[in-house]
Structure 1
Amino acid sequence: MPIPMPPTGEQFEIRSGNARATVTEVGAGLRAFTVDGRPFVETFSADVRPPRGAGCVLVPWPNRTTGGRWTWDGKPQQLALTEPAGGNAIHGLLRHTLYRPADQAPDHVTLHAVIAPQPGWPVPLETSVRYSVDSGGLTVTHTVRNVGTAAVPFGVGAHPYLRAGVAETDDCTLTLAATTA
């Protein structure tokens, strides 16, 4: 009989001193990060899908691709519309992918995944993300390697919901001095 797996897969707990992080196998997401017990990201249970993509790694594009359409090498591409209500392809191809552990120690974990050529994404990519904790906090390092024969643009993003001190995130307002071009 198969062992039930939580929606976030295996949980990789890393720690150093008073810094601790939990990284998920599915989506290589940052599920928790604390220092001295104080949370620095919004956490969620391993038994639920990450709310609003919390903590997920976004490869090979962050954000949204309107209509799922883009052009590569002069050819139109059509990605699956993973945000159907908005008519968009959202946050890459790996949010629901099982990453394989490539390196693990008490203070770090490196997870690896491959993007195979598929409708809307013609070039294979290998990607890894390394999470490490130390006295300085949390370091996250993303690596992407094109293993195909043609150049392809790509992007990498992360989707942590950062905590603003002890206040609940929903109770905070961010004010920026900004202009548009």
Structure 2
Amino acid sequence: MTADVITLTAPNGATAQIAPQRGFNLYRLALPAQGQDEPVEALAAEADFPAGGKPSHSGIPLLFPFPNRIKAGEFTTDQQSEHLLPLGDGPGEAKSDGAGNAIHGFAFDRAWTVTAQDERSATATFTLSENDPERASLWPGDGRLTVAYELTGDGLRCDLTVENLGDEPLPFGLGTHPYFKLPVGPSSGENSGTAADCTVTVPAAARYELIGGVPTGEVVALDEGYDLQHGPAFGGLKLDDVYTQVSAKADEPGVIESVIENPANGLRIVQRCDAAFREQVVFTPPWFREGDAGSICIEPYTCATDAVNLAGRGVDAGWRTLAPGDRFETWFEIAVQ
């Protein structure tokens, strides 16, 4: 069951489009909002996506079996086995960040297997041994990521499941990389506002010190220009940072909520996720920053960048290992309010 593009629609006018051949990337999401004549486009995508462009530069790339970077592509598992991910663009190579590090896992740039689909929902799987056999031997263990998208009355719901299909422990980290479109709401008109004036709120109290995009292991305070807890304006942000000590909502202890708001019209993009997404990467991509428009990525991760190597040094960075036959389940939601 495969298509170049899957289109989901809901009775309230919501629409989503997914490219299963390009990482099951949900690259368009239009959600209705009170007072708006047309649904609000919540995500940014390159003009030629999904036919062209980089699958990591649009929509919601799905990052598995590791999010962000592994330093030099080298790591050692709990079983003390050493692994080296060859870097490049070949079928048996991991993607490079251009600085000699492996980046974003194996799932974001491969075709997925669509297993279920109806008008409002679609489910697909990425299995290392089946959907990426050339790179499967690079990773310790065989795993499957199942992603189920559904348009609900409140917005978009995504349920994610990781399963260990092999006979050995499966180490992994999981992340999503949504590109939120700015300004929130119509791009023109009296109350459109600008990307620069939109505010960004992420409930994180600290961040990792980075060298070359890779954490040193030290957690540092939020200096000026990094603190997103009180909704600074997007125009003053230039970020590609790993945030930690992320707080759940006081009235919903298992839920983390981040908000992007346009003060010109009061519209907000709200991303809610399971507290298992204990780190949040915030990135201001330069390729969408033009005139009054822009984009910001608020990326829920189950672990920090390079968590497998941090864990080997005794740092609690969220790296996980599944026993044979075990599974891990989590979720996130996106709404326009």
**Cα distance change on mapping 1:138 and 1:171 into 2, 3 Å:** same
Which piece of structure 1 moves more, 146-155 or 167-176? 167-176
Deviation at 1:130, TM superposition (A): 0.7
**Cα distance change on mapping 1:175 and 1:34 into 2, 3 Å:** closer
Q: Is the CA contact 1:79–1:119 (under 8 Å) kept in the aligned structure 2?
A: no
Q: Is the CA contact 1:114–1:125 (under 8 Å) kept in the aligned structure 2?
A: yes
* In structure 1, distance between residues paired with 2:194 and 2:26: 18
* In structure 2, distance between residues paired with 1:91 and 1:134: 28
Matched, 1:131 2:149: yes
**Cα distance change on mapping 1:24 and 1:51 into 2, 3 Å:** closer
For structure 2, list consecutive stretches of 5 or more residues without a partner in the other structure. Answer: 33-38, 88-94, 130-134, 186-192, 207-219, 222-337
Q: CA RMSD in A?
A: 2.3
Secondary structure of the 2:180 match is coil
**Cα distance change on mapping 1:49 and 1:169 into 2, 3 Å:** farther
Deviation at 1:178, TM superposition (A): 3.8
Which of 31, 46, 51 is residue 47 of structure 1 equivalent to? 51
Deviation at 1:140, TM superposition (A): 0.9
TM-score (structure 2 length as normaliser)? 0.47
Which of 105, 115, 122 is residue 92 of structure 1 equivalent to? 105
Amino acid at match of 1:13: T
Which piece of structure 1 moves more, 130-139 or 36-45? 36-45
* In structure 2, distance between residues paired with 1:50 and 1:141: 24
* In structure 1, distance between residues paired with 2:195 and 2:84: 36
* In structure 1, distance between residues paired with 2:68 and 2:194: 24
**Structure exhibiting the larger radius of gyration computed from Cα positions:** 2
Which of 5, 8, 14 is residue 14 of structure 1 equivalent to? 8
Q: Deviations over 1:109-128 (max 9, x none)?
A: 00112102734302111121
Amino acid at match of 2:50: A
Deviation at 1:172, TM superposition (A): 5.3
Which piece of structure 1 moves more, 166-175 or 154-163? 166-175
Which of 34, 50, 71 is residue 30 of structure 2 equivalent to? 34
Deviation at 1:160, TM superposition (A): 1.1
Which piece of structure 1 moves more, 131-140 or 162-171? 162-171
Question: Which residue in the other structure is 2:18 paired with?
Answer: 23
Q: Is the CA contact 2:67–2:105 (under 8 Å) kept in the aligned structure 1?
A: yes
Give the length in aligned residue pairs.
173
**Cα distance change on mapping 1:169 and 1:51 into 2, 3 Å:** farther
Deviation at 1:129, TM superposition (A): 0.7
